[in-house]
Structure formats: structure tokens, C-alpha cells
Chains A and B, each alone.
Chain A
Amino acid sequence: MTELHDTGERRRTSDTPPSITDLIDEETVRSIVQEAWSALIGEDELLVPLPGGLPENAVSSWVHVAGPWNGIVVLTCGRSTAEQLSRELLKEHAPPVIEDEDIEDALGELANVVGGNVKAVLPGPSALGLPEVGSAPVAGSDTRRVDLLWRGQSLTISVQGSAGAPLDQ
């Protein structure tokens, strides 16, 4: 017969999942994104913490994080910014014409890298989903959003709790 041990932990039905704003601050998100940009785009590529306003044709990529904290990490920028990012990622290996598939792939990979490093500072263990690309999932109140300028173009990173954003869009 299995003996049950009391660990002293108690979970009440009133327990609510942790809010993302309690788990990660803007500076941590910014430093994660800056590290990704410096390593993958170029070591001199600075991200300026200023809001700039996204264009109408903005595109988003995101990854799900599932664990003690559930939600998504979303990268959003204009289509032309996404194309420039793809070209800078590939550098000398970039083809003459960047196809839509490459742009979506590059944007998804950036979300994957940022999401993986955001996950690392959240309570774990957690699972990271595969990147998705499309229209920005709706952000709810449980969101940590960082607005940045890269080469004068706007991009945003938002870490959105599942309570605040429907995940199956």
C-alpha cells in the first residue's frame, strides 16, 4: 500500500495563476530581446526603449509557454521590418529575394529565441511550443509589454498570460 506523505503544501480553489507582471519586469524582457538582437542580427544593433506605433500591416509571431505560468510570448513588427530582420539574420547567406516563407520563418525563430529565454526566467519546468505566425493574438490585462525601436522602426514584445489572451486563435 502506498504511503502518502504530507508535504505541507496546500492548493486552494481560490488560488490564481501568477500574474506575468509579478514574474518579469520590463528591463528583463528588454535585456533578453537585446541579447537576441546582438547575437543574431548584429552586435552593434541597439534596441531603443521608445514606443513608435506599429503600421497597419503589422505581423506577429509567438510561442506558447506551458507550465506553472501559461501564456504566449509575442513579437510584433511591420512587414518591411520583418523582411529586414530576415535579411540581417541570414546575412551573406540571404537569397537575392526574400520569400514570404523566409520572413515568417525568421520572425518565428526570433519569437522562439526570445520566448525560450523568457521561459528560462519564469517558474518552471515549462514546455515551449512551436512558433506560430499571423495576426497578433489579443492581449489581455495580464500582459508585460515592451515597445522598442530598431533602426527607427517599431516592434513590440509582449508576454501575455493565458488568462488574458485566448490561445486558440
Chain B
Amino acid sequence: MRALVIDDSRVMRRIVAGILEDLGYEVQQAGHGREGLDVLNGGWVPELACVDWNMPVMDGLQFVSAVRSNPAWRQVTIMMVTSESEHGQIVRALAAGAHEYVIKPFTADAIRDKLALLGLLPEEVVL
């Protein structure tokens, strides 16, 4: 399985990517939404995108809207991973097309539990 991690923090990208790689994911990273779209436009379309909200150039909500407007990227499950924890923000993200929402701070177990809910744990991890 493939995952795209989009966060303007290099440290946070490494943390999330590390958790996903430990679960067996092949991971690419992007520093903001526009870079994330460049990855998709380049033909590397993942099953999962973990997206921060507040980023320069293109924020997470704009990225979600852009992905959802392209039917070719329908397969991409989007999980927001962000410190935006206001109820209204969560509703906005889900309404825009995100499937799940993880509030920072999070643990590796929290990410794993969300992926299990989404049916996105690689088979070797589930077994």
C-alpha cells in the first residue's frame, strides 16, 4: 500500500511516515498541498493521504477539495492529521471529503486504530 504524507513540518512528516512505514506502507512526503498535488499529477496515486491543515502555499483543506474534484483520484482515502481541533474545523474537513480526522498530539496506536477503521491496515499487520 502507498501513502502520501503532507505536512510543512519535516519532523512531523518523518514521524507520520515512520509510523506508516513500520506498518508496511510505501511512503512519499510533501511539504504542502501543492507539492502533494504534484505527486498525484505525476502518476503516484496512493491509497492513503495524511494531510496537515495549516500549511503555506496550499493548506490541507484546499488539497482535500482539489483531490475530491478529480474523479481519477477517487481511490485516495484522506486522513487529516492536524492540531486544528475545533468541532467546526473537523466538520469542514469531513464535508470537503476527508474520511478521518486525527488530532495532534497523537500516538502510533491512534494512527493504527484509525487505519483499521478505514480498512487500510496492510494484510500482514491485520493477521
Contact surface of A with B, Cβ cutoff 8 Å:
35-36, 38-40, 43, 86, 89-93, 101-102, 105-106, 108-109, 112-113, 115-117, 119-120, 124-126, 128-131
Contact = CB atoms under 8 A, between A and B. Distances in A.
Of the candidates A112, A119, A124, the one having the most CB atoms from chain B within 10 angstroms of its own CB is: A112
A149 to B, nearest CB: 20
Interface stretch (B33-41, B65-73, B79-87, B115-123): B79-87
Nearest to A93: B18
B54 A90 contact: no
Contacts, number: 73
Contact of A101 (B10, B15, B55, B85): B10
A126 B86 contact: yes
A106 B11 contact: yes
Nearest to A41: B105
Given A90-B15, A93-B14, A116-B104, A130 B8 contact: yes
Contacts of A112: 9, 54, 83, 104
Contacts of A101: 10
Given A86-B11, A90-B11, A112-B9, A124 B18 contact: no
Interface string B100-120: 000111110000000000000
Interface of B: 8-12, 14-15, 17-18, 54-56, 82-86, 88-89, 103-107
Give chain B's interface secondary structure class: loop
Given A113-B83, A116-B83, A120-B86, 9 more contacts: A39-B106, A91-B18, A101-B10, A105-B9, A106-B11, A109-B9, A124-B88, A128-B83, A130-B8
B18 to A, nearest CB: 4
A45 B86 CA distance: 26
B86 A124 contact: yes
Nearest to A101: B10
A90 B83 CA distance: 18
A163 B54 CA distance: 25
Contacts of A106: 9, 11
Of the candidates B11, B14, B18, the one having the most CB atoms from chain A within 10 angstroms of its own CB is: B11
